[in-house]
């Protein structure tokens, strides 16, 4: 019998009072004791509560969340922890336990006049400072208080804050989303909101990074908020955000995912105009061209207010296709039907985007039946990007094929076969991960030589499947390795990658760079005091 994944009930962000409910792989009481001491040292009092949110690793489904296709991440145990005590001066005092990140204080504006609802702070996106992420969480939480809860004309509550993180920055494990989620949750709590649903928290965090000018999708925030111990997550964005936790199948050897950090920093914000945001713009223009060619209207509902490749798929099926009773219908999420539709989409993308070396702005405008000025006005003016050619073929084909791989991966995990032959299952899952990496490298151009090398070494040593995880351009990779092979793969990476690229690398740096992470619990408030 195929295993079913249970739909998530209305889930509230939990409050826990024991660290053992949060961490299983390591004892974190020492870390918390140190943080409580530091808090007392800086502020001369104890925190009232701690808000924390984890990083994530994405198993498969890269660069498709902002096109609204489903992804398969899991939360990890590494997290961002925010200790908070409220103050009545309306001031936000921010201190980071890592002295590399300097402190900052600011007074919030009242922001309750009708033109300025919830805008308690302005964010200077030209600065790359760590406190900007806190401000994003603070801002969206206050907008939620003002707009959704309709709390108006109430002075925003000040907070004395100490932040500590174990998610490596700029490593593709989503430290920024973890920080923003923790900051938003802390702000809600400080302002008296003790009950918030995971869906609401994830949704407010999803839009928040746009205040920094990065138009990311919703995967990181969803994984961070909805994370569940021992469960991976099937995250759907359409027709509405839905995160369904599911367990890995029982196999004779447990499925193990090794995360290897390339230690190449990948800063999404600084490189957005040529990397991340450019990809977001390219896939949107690809969707608009497909819609134009097939004369269908698509909703302008992406993060940058344009059409999506998901939107095109839906519109195309409504207009032209669909088998039997499904003719003309929206896809209801059924896996086999989704795979069929995505096959068709890949074919269309290959047919329409024949210029595999890219399209100049003039060529893209021609495909859309508009002038270059109109193209700039409609698609390129809101989000600054730089390019010589728009890579429409590679981007569109990657998105549809990767979305298909997600469904194939999910199907394998939910229906692993009667005998649960782990070797066959691991092999099939691994193939999909390898194909994903190849597509991200060749079609989406978001890998780098270091990530390619790590994947090659791991595969040579026995990884079933190896791929970059997160936005790419550096950062981390994820490897499906049988549990009895983990040490061998680690050793090979240490000898052939880390010691070669970073001679003299310290043992603790190596330990941090190579981790086997179990799926962990998502955002929560800890009220247990000093452990």
Binding mask 128-167 for ligand GLA (x = CB under 6 A): ----------------------------------------
Q: How far is the CB of 451 from ligand GLA (least distance, A)?
A: 13
CA-wise closest residue to 279 among 174, 395, 357:
395
- Stretch in the footprint of ligand GLA (CB under 6 A) among 57-65, 281-289, 359-367, 392-400: 57-65
Among 77, 199, 200, 220, binds ligand GLA (CB under 6 A): 220
Stretch in the footprint of ligand GLA (CB under 6 A) among 30-38, 62-70, 299-307, 339-347: 62-70
> What DSSP string runs through 12-26?
BPPEES-GGGT-SSS
Q: How many CA atoms lie within 13 A of 454 on its CB side?
A: 29
How many residues are given for the chain?
531
| Tokens read off for 159 | 């907070």
| Span near ligand GLA by CB under 6 A; candidates 215-223, 232-240, 342-350, 452-460 | 215-223
471 binds ligand GLA per the rule CB under 6 A? yes
Q: 40 an active-site residue?
A: no
For strand 91-96 and strand 158-165, is the pairing parallel, antiparallel, or unpaired? parallel
Catalytic residue among 65, 112, 164, 220: 220
Q: Would you call 526 helix, strand, or coil by DSSP?
A: strand
Q: Is 63 in the site for ligand GLA (CB under 6 A)?
A: yes
Strands (E), 146-225: 158-165
> Does position 65 bind ligand GLA by CB under 6 A?
yes
The whole-angstrom separation of Cα 485 and Cα 493 is: 13
Distance CA 11, CA 188 (A): 17
- Of the candidate residues 47, 54, 118, 217, the single one contacting ligand GLA (CB under 6 A): 217
Sign of CA dihedral 221, 225, 229, 232: negative
Residue 358 contacts ligand GLA per CB under 6 A: no
Q: Per CB under 6 A, which region of 134-142, 153-161, 184-192, 212-220 contacts ligand GLA?
A: 212-220
Should residue 402 be labelled a site residue for ligand GLA when binding is judged by CB under 6 A?
no
* Least distance from ligand GLA to the Cβ atom of residue 257, Å: 16
Q: Structure tokens of 77?
A: 């145990």
- Tell me the three-class secondary structure of 263-329, residue by residue: CCCCCCCCCCCCCHHHHHHHHHHHHHHHHHHCCCCCCCCCCCCCCCHHHHHHHHHHHCCCCHHHCCC
Shortest Å, Cβ 217 to ligand GLA: 4
66 binds ligand GLA (CB under 6 A): yes
* Total residues binding ligand GLA (CB under 6 A): 11
470 binding ligand GLA? (CB under 6 A): yes
Residues in contact with ligand GLA by the rule CB under 6 A: 62-63, 65-66, 174, 216-217, 219-220, 470-471
Active site residues: 220
């Amino acid at each position: 019998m195929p295993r079913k994944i249970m739909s998530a009930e209305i889930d509230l962000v939990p409050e826990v009072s024991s660290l053992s409910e949060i961490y299983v792989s390591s004892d974190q009481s020492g870390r918390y004791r140190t943080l409580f001491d530091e808090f007392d040292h800086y502020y001369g009092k104890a925190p009232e509560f701690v808000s924390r949110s984890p990083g994530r690793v994405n198993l498969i489904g890269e660069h498709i969340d902002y096109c609204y296709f489903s992804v398969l991440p899991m939360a990890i145990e590494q997290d961002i922890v925010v200790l908070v005590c409220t103050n009545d001066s309306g001031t936000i005092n921010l201190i980071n336990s890592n002295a590399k990140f300097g402190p900052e204080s600011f007074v919030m504006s009242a922001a309750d006049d009708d033109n300025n609802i919830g805008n308690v702070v302005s964010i200077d996106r030209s600065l790359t400072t760590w406190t900007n992420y806190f401000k994003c969480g603070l801002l969206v939480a206050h907008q939620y208080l003002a707009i959704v809860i309709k709390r108006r004309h109430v002075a925003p509550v000040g907070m004395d804050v100490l932040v500590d993180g174990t998610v490596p920055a700029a490593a593709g494990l989503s430290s920024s989303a973890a920080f923003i989620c923790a900051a938003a949750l802390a702000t809600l709590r400080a302002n008296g909101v003790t009950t918030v649903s995971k869906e609401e928290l994830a949704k407010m965090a999803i839009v928040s990074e746009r205040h920094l000018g990065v138009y990311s999708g919703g995967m990181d925030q969803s994984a961070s908020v909805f994370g569940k111990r021992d469960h991976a997550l099937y995250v759907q964005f359409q027709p509405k955000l839905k995160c369904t936790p599911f367990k890995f199948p029982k196999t004779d050897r447990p499925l193990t995912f090794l995360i290897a950090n390339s230690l190449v920093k990948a800063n999404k914000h600084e490189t957005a105009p040529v990397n991340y945001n450019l990809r977001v713009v390219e896939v949107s223009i690809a969707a608009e061209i497909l819609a134009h060619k097939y004369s269908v209207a698509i909703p302008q509902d992406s993060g940058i207010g344009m059409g999506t490749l998901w939107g095109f798929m839906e519109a195309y099926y409504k207009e032209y296709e669909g088998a039997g009773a499904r003719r003309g219908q929206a896809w209801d999420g059924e896996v086999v039907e989704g795979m069929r539709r995505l096959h068709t989409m890949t074919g269309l993308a290959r047919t329409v985007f024949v210029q595999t070396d890219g399209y100049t702005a003039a060529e893209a405008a021609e495909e859309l039946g508009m002038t270059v000025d109109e193209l700039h006005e409609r698609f390129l003016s809101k989000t600054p990007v730089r390019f010589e050619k728009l890579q429409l073929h590679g981007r569109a084909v990657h998105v549809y094929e990767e979305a298909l791989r997600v469904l194939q991966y999910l199907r394998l995990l939910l229906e692993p076969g009667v005998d649960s032959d782990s070797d066959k299952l691991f092999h099939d899952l691994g193939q999909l991960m390898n194909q994903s990496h190849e597509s991200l490298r060749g079609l989406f151009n978001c890998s780098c030589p270091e990530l390619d090398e790590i994947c090659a070494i791991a595969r040579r040593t026995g990884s079933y499947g190896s791929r970059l995880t997160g936005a790419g351009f550096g950062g981390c990779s994820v490897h499906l390795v049988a549990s009895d092979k983990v040490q061998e793969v680690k050793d090979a990476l240490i000898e052939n990658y880390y010691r070669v690229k970073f001679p003299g690398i310290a043992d603790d740096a190596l330990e941090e760079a190579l981790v086997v992470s179990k799926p962990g619990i998502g955002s929560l408030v800890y009220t247990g005091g000093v452990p």
